[in-house]
Chains A and B, each alone.
Chain A
Amino acid sequence: MHSVVAAFAAAWIIHIVYLFTLASRQRELRRALNAVTTQRDVR
Chain B
Amino acid sequence: MEAKRLTPATGPRPTSNWIVLWGSLTLLLLLVGLYLALLWAPEEATMGIYQRIFYYHVPAAITAFVAFFINLVASVVYLLRRSRIADAWAVASAEVGVVFLTINLITGPIWAKPIWGIWWTWDARLTLDLVLWVMYVSYLLLRQLTPRGELQPRLAAALACFFFVDVPINYMAIRWWHTQHPQPVIFGGPGSGLAPPMYVALAICWMAFMALGYVLLRLRIEQEMDRHALDDAQRALLLEDVGG
Contacts and interface: CB of A to CB of B under 8 A. Distances in A.
A36 B220 CA distance: 21
A11 B107 CA distance: 8
B50 interface: yes
Binding site secondary structure of chain A: helix
B7 A3 contact: no
A42 to B, nearest CB: 8
Contact of A8 (B34, B102, B212, B216): B34
B17 interface: no
Chain B interface mostly: helix
For the side of the interface on B, what is the size category? Answer: 35 or more
B83 interface: no
Contact of B103 (A6, A14, A36, A41): A14
Interface string A1-29: 10110111011001100110010011001
Interface residues of A, number: 26
23 contacts: A1-B49, A3-B50, A3-B114, A4-B52, A7-B111, A8-B53, A10-B103, A11-B56, A11-B103, A14-B99, A15-B99, A15-B103, A22-B219, A22-B220, A25-B223, A26-B222, A33-B7, A33-B226, A33-B229, A37-B8, A40-B3, A41-B3, A43-B240
Interface of A: 1, 3-4, 6-8, 10-11, 14-15, 18-19, 22, 25-26, 29-30, 32-34, 36-37, 39-41, 43
